[in-house]
Amino acid sequence: MSTTEFSFQVEPEDAGQRLDVYLAEQDDPPLTRSQVRKFLDRGEITVNGAQVKAGYKLREDDRIFWSHIPPTEPNIKAQAIALNLLYEDDEVAVVDKPVGMVVHPSIGHPDGTLVNALMHHFDELPTIGGELRPGIVHRIDKDTSGALAVTKTDRAHHHLSAQFRDHSIDRVYHALVFGPGLADEGTFDTLHGRDPNHRMRFTGRVTKGRHAVTHYRVMERYDSGAVLVECRLETGRTHQIRMHFADADAPLLGDVLYGGKRTSQCSLIGRQALHARTLGFEHPDGQRVHCVAEYPDDFSGALEALRAGRDWR
């Protein structure tokens, strides 16, 4: 099998970050820190031509190079799990990911994931993102529903990954937030980094981090102070929408991690009220693909209740 090569040049805002953390935050290839350490041990990843450890502190203009020989067979098992496909051809597919499904195997989620389902439904998937993430070019949280793109060839994987890197993917999310004081529209343009007081969360209130931009507009307001917002992602950082609205004092309904005492307990929906509504991208053959994922039952039920005047608390 042919070797796949990736290279990165460290930007000033990433200087001082650990190598394994930096690589795990890249959109392409999508890797975990444990995978990074494994590839470092194999000698596949170098910095400025030299082998380093996972904890190496990056410097501005460092050049990271990864020469990877994919495994002959993914180390995951196919499982007959139902999938709702919004689009499919020989190179790409768009899946309507249900609430509660993890995208790829990880610690605590060895099977029952979207990848296990993909291995059953499709004959072959590219493994350049790692043997545990075949075909995966982006992710959405376990408890976020909606449209997610999957690649079925290496050509498609490279083509879509490039669009995610240059932010030309059209990604629209709908969310329910507690935002009685939220402006009718706006843009969150912040940094994105680990919250120093809560390592499971991210925040824009950091002095060093990656760039994160979310555009939003209010679609509906309700008497209880809840608001239906449409969010258009310019960048796609981890927990970006959840982070931006929490930092703006308008956390998502049902969000246990970011909602705190204010909105984590929601009587209308039992998870963060976030849905990947539309996904649009350029197909490797040049045509435009545009998919819309309908609201799942819990999200549409919460909307109906709010429109009927029910309180979400």
Q: What is the pLDDT of residue 130?
A: 54
Quickly tell me which residue has 């998870």 as its tokens.
271
Distance in angstroms (rounded) separating the CA atoms of residues 296 and 37:
38
Q: What is the pLDDT of residue 137?
A: 86
Phi, psi of 302 (to 5 degrees): -65, -40
Q: What is the pLDDT of residue 1?
A: 46
Positive or negative torsion for Cα 229, 257, 205, 222: positive
Tell me the DSSP string of 148-172: EEEESSHHHHHHHHHHHHTT-SEEE
Encoded tokens for 191: 């940094």
Q: What is the pLDDT of residue 135?
A: 79
Q: What is the pLDDT of residue 165?
A: 87
Q: What is the pLDDT of residue 304?
A: 97
**Annotated catalytic, 223?**
no
In tens, the pLDDT along 193-217 reads 988 888 789 999 999 888 999 999 9
Distance in angstroms (rounded) separating the CA atoms of residues 21 and 27:
12
In tens, the pLDDT along 164-181 reads 988 899 999 999 999 999
| Burial of residue 108 (number of CB atoms within 10 Å: 0-12, 13-18, 19+) | exposed
Element (H, E) at 297: helix 297-307
**Rounded to two decimals, what is the model's pTM?**
0.77
Encoded tokens for 158: 């490279």
Q: Check 96, 141, 143, 195 and give the catalytic one.
A: 141
Q: What is the pLDDT of residue 79?
A: 85
Closest Cα to residue 22, out of 37, 12, 33, 7? 33
Q: What is the pLDDT along the chain (313 residues), one digit of tens a residue?
A: 456 678 899 988 889 999 998 888 776 666 778 888 888 888 889 999 899 999 999 999 999 998 876 554 446 788 889 999 999 999 999 999 999 998 877 656 777 888 888 888 887 776 645 555 677 888 899 999 999 999 988 899 899 999 998 889 999 999 999 999 999 999 999 999 988 888 789 999 999 888 999 999 999 999 999 999 999 999 989 999 999 999 999 999 999 999 988 899 999 999 999 999 999 999 999 999 999 999 999 999 999 999 999 999 9
